[in-house]
Amino acid sequence: ITPFILLLVTLTPIATNIVATLAPAYRAAKLDPVEALRYE
């Protein structure tokens, strides 16, 4: 196991999680809290 492979195996899931959570977080940040809770 080379240091490059170890770094790649560590950073790939971190980058994937960041990208996967950006869209829902951005969409939630744009919502008005009153509108979001109205349909609860």
Q: How far is CA 6 from the centre of its chain?
A: 22
Helix boundaries (H) for the chain:
3-30, 33-38
Spatial neighbors of 28 by CB under 8 A, at least 6 apart, are: 36
Closest CA to 17 of 25, 27, 28, 5: 25
In order of 10, 13, 29, the CA distances from 24 in angstroms are: 23, 18, 8
Distance (Å, rounded) from C-alpha 14 to C-alpha 4?
16
pLDDT in tens, the chain (40 residues): 899 999 999 999 999 999 999 989 999 899 898 988 887 7
Q: What is the pLDDT of residue 1?
A: 84
